[in-house]
Amino acid sequence: MPSFKTTRHVPFSANQMFALVADVERYPEFLPLCTGLSVLSRRPLGEGEELTARMNVGYKAIAESFTTRVVTKPREKRIDVSYLNGPFKRLVNHWAFIDDAAGTGSTIDFFIDYEFHSMLMGALVGAMFDQAFRRFAVAFEERAGHVYGKPKPGAEKNQS
């Protein structure tokens, strides 16, 4: 039952980072192991939205897909992901984004907990998934630099 939690300070606003993580259709462009993503349904939910997404992942000869429910909560700057279908027995993922008081960026809290249905599958690809999940927060930070550019000191105060 692997789980991983990390907290990272980044030089981008919480709103910017929330927007990057909420933009699931772009994941194949930069996320480790993600070879495709389809949004199967989308509906407003409060100030945010709820969507069902199927992510295709692959590495060398191994390919899998899984379906999740993604709930975005812009006011709370939180994204919750729950598992619906695929090779996992369980998959839970949470993101939280908090602007720092100094206005120099934000803190990203990332948590993922998962377990494969099959012990054999876990043995075959578990280490690969574990390594990829551990790189997710870094991948989003790198994506932010690509999308928003390198921020100037103090510039985050005025960005939304």
Distance between CA atoms of 11 and 1, rounded to whole angstroms? 32
pLDDT digits (tens, 9 = 90+) for 108-145: 999 999 888 888 777 766 677 767 777 877 899 899 99
**pLDDT grade, residue 1 (50/70/90)?**
low
DSSP, residue by residue, 77-129: TEEEEEEEESSEEEEEEEEEEEE-TTSS-EEEEEEEEEEES-HHHHHHHHHHH
Fold of the domain built from segment(s) 3-155: Alpha-D-Glucose-1,6-Bisphosphate; Chain A, domain 4 (3.30.530)
pLDDT digits (tens, 9 = 90+) for 90-109: 999 999 999 999 988 999 99
Q: What is the pLDDT of residue 153?
A: 56
Say if residues 43 and 50 touch (Cβ distance below 8 Å).
yes
Q: Pull the structure tokens for residue 38.
A: 């389809």
Q: Sheet with 48-59: list strands edge to edge.
A: 3-10, 106-116, 88-99, 78-85, 62-73, 48-59, 34-45
pLDDT digits (tens, 9 = 90+) for 29-84: 999 889 999 999 999 999 999 999 999 988 788 888 999 999 999 999 999 999 99
pLDDT of residue 150 exceeding 70, the answer is yes
Say if residues 110 and 136 touch (Cβ distance below 8 Å).
yes
Q: Hey, where are the domains in the chain?
A: 3-155
Which residues does 62 contact at the CB level (< 8 Å), separation at least 6?
Answer: 124, 125, 128
